[in-house]
Structures are given as structure tokens and as C-alpha cells.
Structure 1
């Protein structure tokens, strides 16, 4: 399949259905509007001061209900909200009062990092379809957070990776704090046409004290499985326009690295890189966005969280952090993880289209990747492999909503190299009404791999250079105020491959059934108690039992925003021809003694498999984590994990991982961040039949300064240092260091 065919396939999948519902669908019977939003008269300066005369003509609302932990009781504090719009933007102002303003939690933070503070927010369902919404949040100092809410994605309903261009300001006042927000219509997607529209809107306030009180402008029943369905219905926005809605973002990334063979040896110059690029974003209509990138800078600025997989047979998952793939990522989600954009490792260029119709959503990506990264799955493990060849990539996704309860979709991922190909296509469906939700998805894949990959991965591929197979899953879930129930089944053929996704296990089927009950105790120290248990069983494609597992847990919410969970598991697990018995208990706890400190701990003890030795032993794991604020702008965080395996009269291994760091936010635009990471694994070689390293140790440090005018106009400057040693390289400690500079400028003609 050539590139033109890939593009055609992607666009075919995302083509809007001809009989899509008209964007101007009238209100449904029984929907009570929250009000009519007026057009403001006169200018408004976004400075956190509610003294502009134009606010006098705004619609006045109140955030009057506490929906958590209280059950739609009167809000404990008063919040007055004003809403209006101009021809090119939506305006929202908050006057948040507090009986004790000294308790207000407000810190200078980076974007999307102030969720533990006091904050106010406006949530927007611009298509009024209870599917996809915007959540825009501001703390008392004007720090922004923004998320995309996807009601159809039960695993990740809120995605903070989206960064919109909007303005906000806040200030503390003698009786609380004030916030002003301006949201340009060019930042939002909404139905085309200049007529009056109806949007779903929720006004929200977070009031964290002994408990985290969530306050809303409308009541939200605890039994509701669709938060967005409970938002108020507001009419207005006649004549709203987006302007040219074109943005060009040139980028420049420069870096210099050095390395040395051992501590004390001279440093040797490595690569020097100067990479210019450009990103272009254009919305030809309010419901559609086109993005293009040429020689893109796909580097990420801050390092990934350090993980260890020395006693895990499956590849590790890392979150996507690259801006081009983050925007609009929710358009491509489905029940299987068939798109993991970090598999598009080094593209020369990329094109993307995302949009909405009156009845659904669509998206497509086309890219030329300079390398081909594979996730090779198996029954008992998976790993990454890289092909030294370019690949053409295309992805298409479309979802059609018959009504507010039923939707169907299609998705396809296609990748073509010189002697390599992987194509995946499938359909999915979702039904949700009241407490009931049912979902299903069916996929088919066809692949072709070069001979050296087939030879190197006999366990995963056998002798088949052109594997093919199906994957399907079906799920039913029930949830109301007190009860929840879940049952699902998944079946994946051994020949199924989703090389652009993150599906590390194939050749198995698995079934699960579970349920739980919650007790709510309003105005009590421990205000929620939940019990849950489930049973699952997994078989290999030939009928061999892989896992039979029972687990259960009890969790409680208490004072000081505390959470405590006690969990236990027992199972039979197949590994390298033998069924082993595993069981453990664990406890997880965290709390906030005050507004500047959060502490957490996790402990686990039980019988587990040492995979390298193919034996069980007694494993203990301890984790301590937390974060602390010093003044308004200094923050520290830490996460220390240590595990130990004892068996056969000795300690088979100990492993330690540390992730820690701190940041100094000088003002809302400037930030200095320091990160330290390290790990150490020690093994008793006498307790292993096959050779293993006795000691492996590494650590890394990074410092980054950032200046952000907005999410697209940014300066990053930083330096990093890393070191590693093991039995084969006992003196190799201090081997790499680098400096980098990254510039981007968002230009709107």
C-alpha cells in the first residue's frame, strides 16, 4: 500500500456521514435552559478586577450546590458568576467568597498543576451532545488548567494534555478571591452558522479544606453515569465568529551532547543538533481543525518518570508528551489501545484533521516516520524493536451518534515500510442509558515482517512472516448511587498485531466479573466507604490456563482529604510451563495535613514469582511519596519505591527507584525545574541458574528554565547529566551530559 492509498483509507474512515444531524437541532423536550447569555456592551480588561462596566449587562448565576462529599446540599460558601459574550469571545467572572480567606489555597504553578488549590471553572459542551466537553479552570492567582472531557472514554474521561489559548487573571480579596476569564471562540469548536446556539455549561468551584468540597451550579445526582448530561442548558452566541483562526508556530531546537567512558576520563564531543521546524493550525470552520507540521520538533522537554521492569515481562508504557499528538488525541480513542502515538517515533512531517458534525466526530493522521518502532507482543511478554527503514503512517477514526444513548464508530491504523506492513481496521459500538452501559469492539489485522525480525522473535511470531488475526471485546457495566457491577470478555488471536498501538499481549482470552457497594455518610469523619471484589480467568489460545484470580478491597475517604485502601489478591499464574500460586495483601494511604503538604504510602507483602529464576518467593514492596509547597511559588515532590524478594534462604534481589524534584515558579510565566532520578538493583547471583548482573545502578539529573507567554510561545533552556554502571561496566559512572535550547513562537496573522 503506497502513501496515497494510506491517505485515502484514513480519509474514507473519517468522512462524515451524509445524513448527519443538522447543527441547529432544536432543544429536546424536557431540557430546562440554564439561561440566556447576553452579548456584552463595552470592553473588558482581563486583570482579575471585576470593575468593568460591561459586567453589569452579564447573566448572573450562583454556584449553589455541594455535590461532593455532600449530596446536593447548599454550598458552604457563596460564589457569584457573571457570563456574557462578545462577537469573538466568551467572558466569565467569579466572585468567590469565603468566611475565612486565610484558608484559601493559592500557589503559583505551571499550567495544569494547580488542581489541589482552590479554583473555579467553566465546563462547556459546545455541541450539546453530552459527549465531548472543555473544562477551563483558574486558581485564585490566575494560574490556568484546561482539560478535554470525553464521556465515552470510561478509562480516561479527563485529559489534561490539551492546551487552549485563552486569558485569565485572579486576585485575592478581603472576602475571598475574584477571577476573570476570556475564551476566544477561535479556541473552541462548535456548530457552524451564525444563529443562536444552545450549549451545555457547568459552573464549578473547588473548595479544599478538611475535605475536598466540589461545588456546582446545578445538582448532580450521585447515581448519574454521565456528569456532562447534568450540565445546564444555556442559549446565546448569535453571530459568534472565529476570525481567521490561523496560527503558524515556527520552532527551533538546538542541543549539544558529550560522553565519556568512565569517571575521570576526558569528555568526548557528541552530536550537535540544530533543528528548525514549523507547525500550522487552521480551522476552516468552527467545527473542524487542520494541523500540519514540517521537520517537527518532537522532543519532549521534561524527562519521563523513571520505571523499572526487571521483574516484569511486558513493555513499559510512557505517556505521550509531544504537542502535535496531544491536541485532539481524544478523537482517536477506542476501547482497544490501537493508537499509541509514541510509536510514531521520528516523523519528517505530519498532517492531522479533527472535527465534529452534528452527529459525531472524526479524525485522521498522516505522517512519514524516519524510523519504524515495533511493539512485538506475545502471550507472556512483549518488547520493543526498531527497524532501520522509513514508514508511511495513516490513522482514521469516525464516531456516529444515533442519539444521546447509542453511538457506533470505525477506526483504522495503517503503516507501510520497505518489507514491512501492519494494517488494522475495526468497528465499535456504545450504548448508555441510566445506570446501564454496554460497549463492544471488533478489530482485524494483517501484517508483514522482514526475515530478521521473524528469526529473532520466534516465540512471538513463530515462522509466520505474515501474521493475521482478530481481536474483540464486549463489556456491560451497571452503576447507581450505591451499587456497581462490571462484566467483560476479551479475545485476541495470536496473529493479531496493532503496531501503532499499545497492545502488549496477544493469543489469549480473558473474562472478568465484579461488583461493589458504596455507603455515603454525609457530615461524618469517614464520609464514604466502598467494598469491591472481582474474579477473572485467562486462557491461552490453545486452552492452557494462564491466570485464575480473585481479588477484593475496602476503601474509605476520611478527614484531611485522606484515602485508605486495603486490598488483597490470590491467583494461579502460568509462567514458563508451570502454574504458580501467588497471593499478596497491600495497603495504600494518603492525606493532606494542611494546604501545603500531601503525604502518601503504599505497602505490599506476599508470595510472588521471581521471573528470571522461575520460582516464587516472599516479596515486600514499600513506597513513600508526597509533595510540599514552600510559600507561593516553590514546590517539591518525591516518590521512593523499594522492593525485596526473599527465597531459598536468601535475598534474591532488592530494587530501589527514586524520582524527586523541585520547581520555583517566579511568576505565572517563568519557572525553574530540577529533576533527580535514580535506581539500583542488586541480586544474589548464587540464587539464579542463568547469569544475572549482581549490581546495576543509574542516575540522572535535569534542570530546565521555561518562559511561557502562552502554550505556543515558549522558551526552554536546560541541561542534563546521566550515569550508569553494571557488572560489565563497573567504572562507567558519569557517561553523558547535554545542554539544549528550544524556542517556539505562535504567530496569528
Structure 2
């Protein structure tokens, strides 16, 4: 053999030996189970790790950078000490840093410090790779908690628990102490040692944001929670009574006026007393109940621009009762969207996990029944002014770590209306890289006979008076429909593939959920390839794409699309995306009184380019922007135009306490060489975090839409200019997630062709107080 051949053989041998050694370390770390010592006294959580307090603790080191690198040696040392007292799990993190002045730490509201230096833990008390509790803390003790759901591949920070944390920056880095009461977990109580899934994590954001862990991560395994390490102990762990009574008081005064009428102010007063109950019935089962609740939101929704859009907007749920254990009701279809329940007098929820069985039940009334009316070209919102009862039931049986079966049932009913939904779903992990999900859902619905008239221009007397929503609600008797989907995923270290098939039949409705389209069958095929780099200016490069096609139940083409995109992640915590898409899709119906697509719509062709860029050049500045340019259907006039959209967002941290977050959306469209509209939306949020518990926030939202009426086919139905303005000033004090005090002021107004000056239409002041008695 020549020298080149020998060099090649030696090179391959080194690689094989390296991989074998790495795998050996990987296997050893996965197999290692840490023992959690039991202590007899409580620990003073003050952010100062006293050696005498932690002398009995097990010490664990974080030895792997798992992202963006692949199980490399960290540039900094991190130690965590762990022990438990029978009712509390204690953790102490020592995060060493050679340059403590570079530590990124700010005083922010709870769950708002993701960009900071963080330490934390993921815990799976059932050790079955289904759900994991996540707790993270910044160097000042600011908390973040969430639930990771392996079944849906989603993480939700809407879950809030009461736990302790304190932190401080030192000359060697920073220290954090954490106390996690066992009452906040669902777990199996009983005699004998228990094994929990666990991972200890540090986020180290500098030029690159490093994720540092005590266990290596296998990128060839698509299951994240399957790779958690293990901790063992909790022989005498007790959850205790775990009862919380939370009375609430809401006091407010407001006024509003209709500018189309007399413009006289109408005053209103709010004085409401309610009570919430959180009870750990057993360590595995929880009950939440509320009587005369205040379901108002303290913080305004993120502003969204609604122009040239035929489908209803989605808003996240923010109300505590509905957020608690919401993951128990998750399925592939969004069948439980509790923002549809607007003004209940009572509510109750039971969730739990017993052995291989997971379940959730909730019930709430509502003064109205509000729901989406879905279609294949658009959706609308319907309201029936009758008190409704709303029920959701969810059950899942885990046959093994790889196979689960589930059932979902929702129920909405009023005097002249009902919607019943029943569905089945399954998830099967064929291999570590291959996952199959299937769901089938059926519904039975009855609308009031006159509901369709709410969506008519004039009682639907002639063809032009109709809309798709009117056609979808014009039903004399109850009707039925089904929906089903199949999702296959193959995910490896370097490449991935997906295939999805969705079908939602014409008669299907999910009125407690957020299902905005029906009468549509969709097929999607996609995949991509990933390259990784270490010790380079870039970390990851990905190329991916997909092809999808949509038809009606009758096989009529609705849309066909192909797209390709490129992703680059690099220094300064930056990422850059570039995408191209080409699409054929139909516009609006010519005859709105029939649902046919063929010979009743125009098929338009759209070519679009888009890009996304974000970076964090320092701890105090974050910038991102999304931009898109290309063809887009003008849905008002049913023709093709050129749309230009830019969405920049900048976040500035001025010192440790003050933050400015400004998001702007600019969108414009030209049709036939002339401007059709120009729209601007600005959402500015100024926050001053006084300390861990106190916050002052000012929110300003301003939108302005200018239309060229000469370029509209029917200019009488539009305003040349419409402007909306909203403001909210809020002070909050949070002792914990359940004990809170808010006081604030809000106002809103608008301007259009009939109201030539920006005029205030609503004003209110409010105070909300809740206090949690824990037992």
C-alpha cells in the first residue's frame, strides 16, 4: 500500500476509535443514576451556598455543551448540589465564570429572562418521557417555569408554580439556590425509592449561546425526554395537603361611547369578589375550581395587523384558570381553545396521571357561545347570545414508552345550539428516529335557524348578499362531519423527512377549539439536510423545503405550493433565513351563494421571496426583522397584486431594570401599478422592573391604514384612512404566581372618514388583588 492509503486507513481508525469512545462516555452518562440524599432540616434559600447546609448533598457537574455544539467540553465549570427533605427538593448551582462582568442578568418579570445567563433543571417525576417540568433561574433569582410535552413536541411557559429561588453574582461567577416543594408536582407516592428523570442545564450566552448539560445529547434520537438522566431517592416523599384558597377582588370603573350615535359617555362599575381553589387531591390528581372568577386580562394581547386576511386571528390564552395544566388537553388538532369561553360564572378542572393513565376534565359556563365558523377560503366568528355549557375530556393510555392511545371529547350546548366532538389519537415511536401520529375526530352540530343571517349583507335575499360563513351556517337540522390526520416524521442528526395528510370534511366543526378551515384535504411532503461546524464563525447551516397541495372534499384544487429555505446560525447569537415559494391558489368565489370552486373562482399564481434575520450584538440589544416581497391576492377586489411586508423588532435594556420593546409592522400592496393600501402597526412596551416582585409597564399600540379608494372596485365600502390607538399603564406586585396585586389605567380610540380626529372611545381604571392561602 502507498503512503496515502495508509494515511487514509489511520485517519478512519482514529475516527472510529473516537466515535466508540464518545459512545462509551454517552452510554455511561445515560446509565448513571444520582442518589438524592435526605436531610432532616430545611435550607435557608438566600442565594449564598453555605457549605454546612449543603454538606450532605450529591454534587453533579455539567460536562457537555449540547447546543450548538455536539457534546463538547464547556468553557466554564458548573456544579449543582441536590438533596431533599421529604417535602422539598433543594438545588444549589455554582456557575463559575472567568469574566463575571460579562454575565448577562437583568431584573425582569417572571418568565421574561430567556436571553439571560440561566441555570435550571428538567424533571420527569414519572420517568416515562411524556411530560417534564422545567425550572430556570437567572443570577438575580428571577424565575422561569414551563412544561415540556413530548407527545406534542411543545413547551408551554403558561404553567406557573410556587417555588423559591435566590441568586447573586460573585467574584467567581454566580450562585443560585432553589427550593421546589413536592406539592407542585404530580408524582407516584408510596414506600421505597423512586426514580425521576432529570437533566441539569446551564445557558451561557456570549458570542454564541451555549447550552451546557450534565448529560450528552444524541442528535440521532428524535425523543428529547427519552434522553434525560436519572435521580433516585424520595423514599418518604409526601405531597402534603396541597390546598390553596385564592380569593380575588376586582374593582374598576370605566366609560365608553358610540361615536356613530349620541357620543354620550356611558359609565360602568365593576365590583367583583370571587374565589379559586387549587387542591392536590392525591399526589397524582389535581383539582382547580373557581366561583365568580375574574377572567379579565391584565396585560394586553400582542397587537396583530388584520388586513387582506380572510381567516380569524389567533390569540394566546393568558387566564390562570385555563392555563393551569392545559397541556393535559393537547392533541394534534387544537380542539380546546379556551379563549372561546369569554365570561363564565364558574369553572372546574380535574387533571391527573395514575400509572399508565393520563386524564383531564374541565367544565365552565359562559354567558354566550362564541366560536369559529370555518371554511376553505376563510373563517368568521359567530356569537349566540345564550348561556352555554362547555366541557372537555381528555384521556391517554401509555401502552409502552413507544406507544400511546388517546381520547378527546368536547361538548358545547345552549338552548338552540350544540356542538359535540369525539376523537381518538395515537402516537407510535417506531424507532428513535421515526414517529407516527394519527388522529380521527367526529362532530355533531346544530345551529339556530337564523344564525346564517348574521353573515349576510341583507338577509341573503340575492346572491351578492351571501358569504361563505352564511353558507356554512345555513343548516336547518343537526349535521355531522369528520376530520383526520396522519403525521410521519423521520429525524436524524444530519437530515429529516416529513409527510402529513390532513382531511377536514365539510360538516366538521370543533367549536371549543381553534379549527379555522374545513372542506379541505391537504398533503405535505418535506425534508432537509443540516451541516454543523465547531470552532468556526458559523454553527449550523440547514437547507429544507416542502411541497403541499390542498383540495376540497369534491377534489377541486384550492392551493398548490412549493418552497425552499436556507438557515444559517452564526456568531453574535445570530441567525439568517432566506426562503422562496411558488404557489397557485384560488381567490374569492364569483358567486358567493354557492360553495363550488371550479368555474366559480380564479386560480392565481404567486411567487414570493422572504427573509428573517436576528442577532444579539450585546447583552443590552436584540434585533430581529422579517421581510417578504412578492405576489399576493388582493382579497377585497379578487385580483393579483404586489405585497411588501417588513416586521422589525428591537429590544433595548437600559441598565438592569429598564427595558424597551418596540415591534413594528409595515405592509403595502400595489395593484395594476398603483398603491392599494399602506398599513403600519406599532406595539411599544416600556417596562421598569423595580425588583423581583414589582413592575411598572406602559403599553402603547398604534395602527394606521391608508387606502387608495380610487383603486378599489367598490370604494363606498371602505374608509380612506382608519386609525386605532390603545394605551395601558400598569403597576404589578407579585409575591408569587397566585398572590398578586395590579392597578392600572387603559384607554382606546380611533379615527376614520366619519371621525376625522383621533377620538377616545373607552377609558377605564382597575384594581385586582388575589391572595393565596396555602395548606
Q: Please, what TM-score do these two structures have when normalized by structure 1? A: 0.94
Give distance in 1, aligned partners of 2:523 and 2:264.
55
Tell me which residue corresponds to 1:14.
none
Displacement of 1:693 in angstroms is 1.6
1:704 alignment partner in structure 2: 730
Q: How does 1:294-373 map to 2 (within 5 A)?
A: 294-373=291-370
Partner secondary structure for residue 735 of structure 2: strand
Q: Residue 461 of structure 1 contacts residue 467 of structure 1 at CA under 8 Å; is this kept in 2?
A: no
Contact 1:256 1:738 in 2 (8 A): yes
1:657 to 675, 678, 681: 681
Distance 2:248 2:387 in 1: 23
How much has 1:260 moved relative to structure 2?
4.7
For residue 616 of structure 1, what is the aligned residue in structure 2? 640
Shift of 1:262: 6.5
How far has the Cα of 1:699 moved from its partner? 0.8
Aligned length: 719
Partners of 1:262 and 1:731 within 8 A in 2: no
| Residue of 438, 441, 453 corresponding to 1:440 | 438
Distance 1:266 1:509 in 2: 49
Q: How many angstroms apart in 2 are the aligned matches of 1:230 and 1:311?
A: 45
CA distance in 1, matches of 2:477, 2:54: 67
Structure 2 match to 1:23: none
Aligned to 1:159: 156
Q: Deviations over 1:684-734 (max 9, x none)?
A: 111111232211100111010000100000000000111112223334612
User: Which residue of 511, 520, 533 maps to 1:521?
Assistant: 533
Give the secondary structure class of the aligned counterpart of 1:607. Answer: strand
> Are 1:279 and 1:296, in contact at CA under 8 Å, matched by a contact in 2?
yes
Q: In 2, are the aligned partners of 1:628 and 1:635 still within 8 Å (CA)?
A: yes
Question: Contact 1:258/1:270 (CA < 8 Å) preserved in 2?
Answer: yes
Q: Relative to 1, partners in 2 of residues 1:262 and 1:474: Cα closer, same or farther, differing over 3 Å? A: closer
Which whole-Å CA distance do the structure 2 matches of 1:200 and 1:148 have between them? 14
Aligned-pair distance for 1:30?
12
**1:273 to 2:270 alignment:** yes
Structure 2 CA distance for aligned equivalents of residues 267 and 199 of structure 1? 63
Name the CA distance, whole Å, in 2 between partners of 1:66 and 1:732: 54
Q: C-alpha separation between the residues in 1 aligned to 2:724 and 2:165?
A: 42
Partner of 1:673: 697
Tell me the equivalent position of 1:578: 602
Structure 2 alignment gaps of length 5 or more:
1-27, 455-468, 589-600
Pair member with larger Rg: 2
In the alignment, does 2:708 pair up with 1:684?
Answer: yes
User: What whole-Å deviation, never above 9, does each CA across 1:359-415 have from its counterpart, x for those lacking one?
Assistant: 131100011212111211111111112111101111100011111101010000001
CA distance in 2, matches of 1:395, 1:728: 45
Instruction: Give the Cα–Cα distance (whole angstroms) in 2 for the partners of residues 161 and 624 of structure 1.
Output: 26
2:574 is matched with 562
**Paired residue for 2:395, among 389, 393, 398?**
398
Which position in structure 1 is the counterpart of 2:100? 101
Contact 1:164 1:711 in 2 (8 A): yes
Residue 598 of structure 1 pairs with residue 596 of structure 2: no
What 5-or-longer segments of structure 1 have no aligned partner? Answer: 1-28
**Do residues 169 (structure 1) and 169 (structure 2) align?**
no
Contact conserved, 1:713 with 1:746, CA < 8 A, in 2? yes
> Is the CA contact (8 Å cut-off) linking 2:657 and 2:688 kept in structure 1?
yes
| Structure 2 SS opposite 1:651 | strand
- Aligned counterparts of 1:202 and 1:586: Cα–Cα separation in 2: 37
Partner of 1:79: 78
Instruction: Answer with 385-394 or 447-456: which moved more.
Output: 447-456
Distance 2:43 2:33 in 1: 24
RMSD in angstroms over aligned alpha carbons?
1.6
Aligned to 1:554, the other structure's residue is in SS state: strand
**SS of 2:705 mapped into structure 1:** strand
For the 8 Å contact 2:30–2:228, the answer to whether it is kept is no
> Which one scores higher on RCO, CA 8 angstroms, separation ≥ 6?
1
1:473 aligned to which of 485, 488, 494 = 485
CA positional deviation for 1:464? 4.5
For 1:649 and 1:485, the matched residues in 2 are separated by: 41
Match of 1:128 in 2: 127
Matched, 1:627 2:647: no
Who is 2:201 aligned against? 204
Distance in 2 separating the partners of 1:356 and 1:274: 38
Pair 1:648 & 2:660 matched: no
Contact preservation (8 Å) 2:165, 2:177: yes
The equivalences for 1:373-522 within 5 A come to: 373-432=370-429, 433-456=431-454, 457-522=469-534
